[in-house]
Amino acid sequence: MPTRTAEQRRQAEKAAYDAYLAACPTRKLLDEIAGKWVSLVLVALGDGPRRYSDLSRRIAGVSQKMLTQTLRVLERDGLIHREVTPSVPVRVDYSLTPLGESLRALVAGFKDWAEANFDAVDAARADYDARTPDLTIEPGGSG
């Protein structure tokens, strides 16, 4: 039997990914990139590099801890680049990598959809709540 090349092994491993399986590493990646702060950071960086303080102002409600954690996860995953410019004070800029830009394009579509369709979703929620008064679903919850 012939030995598989590195590319063939990589393709076989890639084909084996199935996010429906709990042990699949893509499940954790989906969990990470589906977070609201990740989505908002990626879309905010779509306009070009931004400093931490710019991101903090742009994304209302994000705590310093969550923004810092989100930026670290995105940098580790290769989705953003962190550039430190030695100065007083030190200047740190965040920008999208090509991989991050490819994800931003998808995430921006979700953001745009949410903004364009919120009134219809809100009306559907009100209708559902009127028909099923005994069920309470918390905002952002699934049941």
Looking at residue 4, the DSSP 8-state letter turns out to be: P
Q: What is the pLDDT of residues 71-86, one digit of tens each?
A: 999 999 999 999 999 9
Query: b vs e for 4-26, b when ≥16 Cβ sit within 10 Å of the residue's Cβ?
Result: eeeeeeeeeeeeeeeeeeeeeee
Q: Model's pTM, two decimal places?
A: 0.77
Q: What is the pLDDT of residues 8-59, one digit of tens each?
A: 666 666 667 888 888 889 998 998 898 889 999 999 999 999 999 999 999 9
Average pLDDT of the residues of the chain: 89
